[in-house]
Structure 1
Amino acid sequence: MEYSLNYQLTKDIDFFLIDRDFNLFHFASAGSLLPDNVINNYEENKLVKSSILQMDELFDIEINPELEEFVEFENENMREQYLRDFIYYAKRGFHSYDNTNINNYENQNYHLVAKPVYPKYRIPYILINCFFRKKLFSQSYSNIYNKLKIDATLNKSMINFNNI
């Protein structure tokens, strides 16, 4: 099953990717178009999210120090509400990104919101197993993996799916 265009444009869809170095990524679409290689993976994405929701918090996290360059907050309460879900995923080992241009559904720029602070050997086995079993680490994702490996080095705070 795939995500319909209407569904993509009316929902804030969480989707998940893993790169060749086993770094885990979470993206919140904010009603924008999904990357082509994600559109056809509705069921797999649902399974991965379900597995993540059952996990315990395993990691300390770091909020992107450049976050206010991408998002404005009226007060601290709004900032905390915004960060809640991104912190949730970061505490479970994901580099968590939000869509940058929510008023332009065609623009697939994402900015880093929060990331885990962890040694690579502590990646939760259940997640890696889930990704492999459901073929999320398949040939069809190779373009995204290659792009993530090149553009999403852990020191960068932006990812763009438009050219994938």
Structure 2
Amino acid sequence: MYTEIEQQTLDIDWFFTDGNYISFVASGAGKLPETVANSEVNNKKLVSYFKGLPNISDTIINPLLDGLLTKIFGSGADERYLRDFMYFTQRGLYSFDKTNLNDFTDTQYHLVSTPVKPLKVTDLPPDILDILIQTKIEDNIKLISDLDASKII
């Protein structure tokens, strides 16, 4: 279990699905969905699994990202900022980052990068799929550019 203090102070990697595709999210010290917060063990298993995958895809950086980051940080996306997002996107995952960092109650995230060749849930082993499917959104991941994490069940 991730405590509320851990959630408020750590940038925790977590994942969700729409039943077809998979997304990676950097929490930015935001409140985690209950399914993620309730099982640190399961979340770490997902992190380990997805980090262990080979590169399967080129990436597309969100064309609106530089403008958004300039508003937030005063500068656009650089290699250091993009590193973790690109890592997961090269493995076929859609990547999101918290828009208002360190605002625990804010549930807004923005798209950072999209895979050219997305990984599908049908590509996952049953034990990983069983964990991932617990954190789901009804929207089509391919159409999300601004994520409201409160919609994740």
| Shorter-chain TM band | 0.7 to 0.9
Q: Where do 1:18-37 residues align within 5 Å?
A: 18-21=17-20, 23-37=21-35
1:95-122 superposed Cα distances (whole Å, 9 cap, x missing partner): 000000114221010100011001x6x6
Q: Where do 1:81-92 residues align within 5 Å?
A: 81-92=80-91
Amino acid in the other structure paired with 2:22: L
SS in structure 1 at match of 2:56? coil
Amino acid in the other structure paired with 2:52: Q
Asked if residue 137 in structure 1 is aligned to residue 133 in structure 2, the reply is yes
> Would the aligned equivalents of 1:52 and 1:127 in 2 still touch at CA under 8 Å?
no
> Would the aligned equivalents of 2:8 and 2:31 in 1 still touch at CA under 8 Å?
yes
Q: Return the offset for 1:128.
A: 4.7
Please tell me the root mean square deviation across aligned C-alpha atoms, in Å.
Answer: 2.4
TM-score of the superposition, structure 1-length normalised?
Answer: 0.80
> Would the aligned equivalents of 1:34 and 1:108 in 2 still touch at CA under 8 Å?
no
Q: Where do 1:57-72 residues align within 5 Å?
A: 57-72=55-70
1:11-52 superposed Cα distances (whole Å, 9 cap, x missing partner): 10000112212x010000011111223211211110011111
By relative contact order (CA 8 Å, sep 6+), the higher-ranking structure is 2
Distance in 2, Cα, partners of 1:33 & 1:124: 25
When the two structures are aligned, how many residues end up with a matched partner?
150
1:122-142 superposed Cα distances (whole Å, 9 cap, x missing partner): 64866353432x43314xx4x
User: What percentage of aligned pairs have identical amino acids?
Assistant: 31
1:67-109 superposed Cα distances (whole Å, 9 cap, x missing partner): 0232126667x61100010000000010000000114221010
Pair 1:56–1:135, CA change in 2 (3 A): closer
Partner of 1:112: 111
The unaligned stretches of length 5 or more in structure 1 are none
Distance in 2, Cα, partners of 1:115 & 1:13: 20
Partner of 1:159: 147
